[in-house]
Amino acid sequence: MIRLTKSNKEDETELSRQSGSLEIYHKNNWLPVFFKNWGRVETEVVCKPFGFREGAASSEKDETQMDSYSITNVTCTRSENRLDACAFDGFELNCCPSFNYVSVHYILVSLFIVYFTVLKNTIQHYMFLIRKINTGKASD
């Protein structure tokens, strides 16, 4: 199980739907994901469970994670539907001396594609009806 979190104004962690620090649930704890070797394929796999086809990942510095375990060297192949199905080296304590963890931002491309496809089909349908009316074949 994964989630995205971000800090609010009171420095409390809250869940986010579209962007934030990536965490994976392991043995009753939410752990950050180390950014090393993270790429586009891993980002695509993370987007799938949330209904997004694409996203962008960046490195986020977080020194509050200094004494915590994190998942390291995640490698996905695009065939996975969940991050925990990807290969990874394991969970390590203090593995990230740079404190750089994965932050994900989902891209709403799929929603725009659906919207424009529906709009395009609607316009094509109306153009078809207008042509039929103009040619006197509206009763077909």
- pLDDT reported for residue 17: 66
Is residue 117 over pLDDT 70? no
Q: Dump pLDDT digits (tens) for 18-62.
A: 778 888 888 898 888 887 788 889 988 888 887 777 777 877 766
For residue range 63-96, list pLDDT tens digits in order: 665 566 777 889 999 899 888 899 988 877 765 5
Structure tokens at 67: 């004494």
pLDDT band at residue 113 under the 50/70/90 scheme? very low
How, if at all, do strands 19-26 and 100-107 pair? antiparallel
Cα–Cα–Cα angle for 76, 78, 80, nearest 5°? 75
Cβ atoms of 29 and 83 within 8 Å: the answer is no
- The structure's pTM equals 0.64
